[in-house]
Amino acid sequence: MTDHDTDHETLAARARAWLAEDPDPDTRAELSALLAGGDLAALAERFAGTLQFGTAGLRGEMGAGPMRMNRAVVIRAAAGLSAYLRGTGADGGLVVIGYDARHNSAAFARDTAAVVTGAGLRAALLARALPTPVLAFAIRHLGAVAGVMVTASHNPPRDNGYKVYLGDGSQIVPPADADIAARIAAVGALADVPRPGAGWETLGEDVVDAYLARSGAALTGGSPRSVSVVYTPMHGVGRPVLTAAFARAGFPPPVDVPEQADADPDFPTVAFPNPEEPGAMDLALAAARASSPDLVLANDPDADRCAAGVPDPAAEGGWRMLRGDEVGALLATHLVRRGRRGTFAASIVSSSLVGRIAAAAGLPYEETLTGFKWLGRVPDLAFGYEEALGYCVDPEGVRDKDGITAALLLAELAAEEKERGGRTLGDLLDDVAVTHGLHATDQLSVRVADLAVIADAMARLRSAPPRALGGLAVASAEDLAAGDGGLPPTDGLRYRLTGGGAVEAARVIVRPSGTEPKLKCYLEAVVPVATHEALPQARATAASALAAIRRDLADAAGLTA
């Protein structure tokens, strides 16, 4: 027998051992067919290792085997989490479990509830498929020791995920992720994991009502409510909660995008159910052109992100989607106007504009690594955001990004501007640019089939850092993996560029995505603006600078722009 034959037999033996304890008839049938057909390539994909538990929990394609999301993987994850909680003194504590409308989400949530109950903890399932921010709220509201949300957020329909929160309502950070991962690895046979068929609680609508009451409290009493909105939940779970939130707050009912209004785990109208992806907002913008609202709003499928579109005569079709950084600046401006005190924060890949807004208001500002697992832990947080459409506008209620409450505040702000002589959110962004400088942002985002492409690009940039990008000298190059910049170590690079000509300064950050097979490069150019009349030229200057930086960065990283 050759080594090749031995490898094949070892692979088949691993698959048969997994099959023997797989509790799901669907994945058992999948694995049985692969074994019977001798599909060694497909088996190797599923058994090349194990799906790694990290600070985003678990996320991956559904299917059989340890490299896929399935009931066996979820049971082990729940057992490891339960062991971690018991080992940290939370024995008997409450774990709240939520889930979205993706394929298998409800089953994964029930498995988690069974494992948690069998481990001697209390488990409570949310009443139905609900947005992630409702789960994050419920943890703090109910005094839970942890929470689990079964969701893959805006990933493709073939994926699912498992997001873990601790008792403060924030997502896990090191070293908790490594400790939980070690507990998962130590789980033995699934038959030895107690999984009673009952014993957990199913929460009622009172938790949703409490979330809605808290979300409404984030608004200003007596502020205008006359605003028309087109809204899409992107085939996700946001619509019932958002429409209820709007009704409670006194806003007119949003106009639905009918093709995307109902939860559908197959996401039939979009290639990727993410408002940032090309084409994802086409139906919503078409509905806006038909009904002429004041604002377009969108949530991603688990409704923790919020996107906004505004009327713009200069844009194709008369509408344009705002960048996440623009929405962050609008929300920060709104909260400053209302007298919000405390620390404003943004991730390092987000625009530096919110820092200027906070400084002008005499408020502290802090930058964190990417992700609300870091933003949610900023002391005395008043507002936090990241450019990927994530906004925390009520940290005491939800210590995570919340697309429902952010949508409420954007509607309130749009109503206020409308009352000021028919102004739009675009008009307010112009005011912000004149006051604080035009902060233009862009991305170079490369989706790959082979993760080695990302590793090679990062290695190339580390071995030969660029000295200039877009004609602007690189003033400093920080390797964030070394903990440069006063932040915890992370796989990323940050370049600060000197100004030149009409460009005051620029900045570039390069990092692998934490949730998708992408290399993401975040670009910013700052151009001073003296008057509103000077804005068109400033935008042209910034666009030219960003395009040049993008081209040079792609070349330096060995990528195609």
User: Is residue 484 predicted with pLDDT exceeding 70?
Assistant: no
- pLDDT at position 45 over 70: yes
Q: Which has more pLDDT, 516 or 196?
A: 196
Q: Which of 82, 105, 153, 350 is catalytic?
A: 153
67 and 173 assigned to the same domain: yes
For residue 409, pLDDT over 50 is answered with: yes
Domain final position from 414, 433, 452: 433
Helix, strand or coil, per DSSP, at residue 29: helix
Q: What is the mean pLDDT of residues 429-457?
A: 94
Q: Which amino acid is at 66?
A: P
Both 278 and 239 in a single domain?
Answer: yes
448 and 499 fall within a common domain: yes
Share of the chain above pLDDT 90, in %: 91
The domain spanning residue 195 has which CATH number? 3.40.120.10
CA distances from 523 to 15, 49, 359, 365, 506 (A): 45, 35, 22, 20, 7
Give the CATH number of the domain where residue 505 resides.
3.30.310.50
Which H or E run contains 407? helix 403-419
Same domain, 472 and 351: no
Q: Are 211 and 279 in contact (CB under 8 A)?
A: no
Which pLDDT tens digit goes with each residue over 297-340?
999 999 999 999 999 999 999 999 999 999 999 999 999 999 99
Does 368 share its domain with 233?
Answer: yes
For residue 388, tell me if it sits in a domain.
yes
* 20 in a structural domain: no
Kindly tell me if the per-residue pLDDT of 2 is higher than 60. Answer: no
- Count of structural domains, the chain: 3
The answer to the question of residue 29 being in a domain is: no
Structure tokens at 214: 């808290």
Least confident residue range of 13-27, 198-212, 410-424, 479-493: 479-493
Cα(194)–Cα(259) distance, rounded to whole angstroms? 43
**Residue 513 confidence (pLDDT):** 86
- Regarding whether 157 and 254 lie in a shared domain, the answer is no
- Res 221: pLDDT: 85
* Residues whose CB falls within 8 Å of the CB of residue 238, separated by 6 or more in sequence, listed in order: 131, 299, 301, 302, 303, 403, 404
For residue 62, name the pLDDT band (cuts at 50, 70, 90).
very high
pLDDT in tens, 81-94: 999 999 999 999 99
Percent of the chain surpassing pLDDT 70 = 98
Write down which residue in 142, 172, 201 finishes a domain: 201
pLDDT digits (tens, 9 = 90+) for 202-256: 999 999 999 999 999 899 888 999 999 999 999 999 999 999 999 999 999 999 9
Q: Which tops the pLDDT comparison, 402 or 447?
A: 402
Give the DSSP H or E segment for 90: none
166 and 73 in a common domain: yes
Q: Give 551's contacts (C-beta < 8 A, 6+ positions apart).
A: 470, 561
Reply yes or no on whether the pLDDT at 345 is more than 90. yes
**Predicted confidence band at 3 (pLDDT cuts at 50, 70, 90)?**
very low
In a domain, 8, yes or no: no
Same domain? For 491 and 342 the reply is: no
Is 37 among the domain residues? no
Same domain? 487 vs 552:
yes
Q: What pLDDT band is residue 1 in, cutting at 50, 70 and 90? A: very low
pLDDT band at 547 (very low <50, low <70, confident <90, very high): very high
In a domain, 84, yes or no: yes
Is 485 among the domain residues?
yes
The whole-number pLDDT of residue 252 equals: 97
Based on the domain organization, do 353 and 496 belong to the same domain? no
pLDDT digits (tens, 9 = 90+) for 92-148: 999 999 999 999 999 999 999 999 999 999 999 999 999 999 999 999 999 999 999
Q: Comparing C-alpha atoms, which of 537, 510, 542 is closest to residue 524? A: 542
Domain range for 182 = 52-201
Residues 126 and 258 in one domain: no
Give catalytic status of residue 153 as yes or no: yes
What's the confidence (pLDDT) of residue 6? 53
Per the domain annotation, does 158 fall within a domain?
yes
Give the tokens for residue 226. Answer: 């006359």
Q: 366 and 498 in one domain?
A: no
Residue ending a domain, among 145, 175, 201, is 201
DSSP string of 516-559? Answer: SSEEEEEEEEEE--SSGGGHHHHHHHHHHHHHHHHHHHHHHHT-
On the question of pLDDT at 423 being above 90, the answer is yes
For residue 244, count other CB atoms closer than 10 A to its CB. 17
Q: What is the pLDDT of residue 485?
A: 66
Mean pLDDT of the chain, nearest integer: 95
Task: List, for residues 498-534, the tens digit of each pLDDT value.
Answer: 999 999 999 999 999 877 788 999 999 999 999 999 9
